[in-house]
Amino acid sequence: MRYVDDYSLTEIAQELDASPQAVVDFVKRAITSLERYEEHLGLVRKHEQRQVIVEDILAKMNEYDAAKGIRDSISKLASV
């Protein structure tokens, strides 16, 4: 609700019939958990590395004027 729906902490508390402090505590715990998962899994880091590779491929394809269909497919991959 905080990040997807852009609710304030007060709005979340009202929606869930909880205290604002309980919402703050929960959001802090959730962020800590996500950071710990990222530390172990490295999903964001891997995604960023893939983006760099895709951009490099696209740049090289543009240099050599590769087939447009392949270039479009890789562009779609980059946006995922």
Q: What is the pLDDT of residues 38-70, one digit of tens each?
A: 999 999 999 999 999 888 888 877 776 656 667
In the chain, % of residues over pLDDT 70: 91
Average pLDDT, the chain: 86
Residues 51, 30, single domain; the answer is no
8 A C-beta contact, residue 13 and residue 23: yes
In the chain, % of residues over pLDDT 90: 48
Residues 47, 73, single domain; the answer is yes
Residues 49, 62, single domain; the answer is yes
Could you tell me if residue 4 is inside a domain?
Answer: no
Residues 52, 32, single domain; the answer is no
Distances (CA, A) of 19 to 3, 27, 44: 19, 13, 32
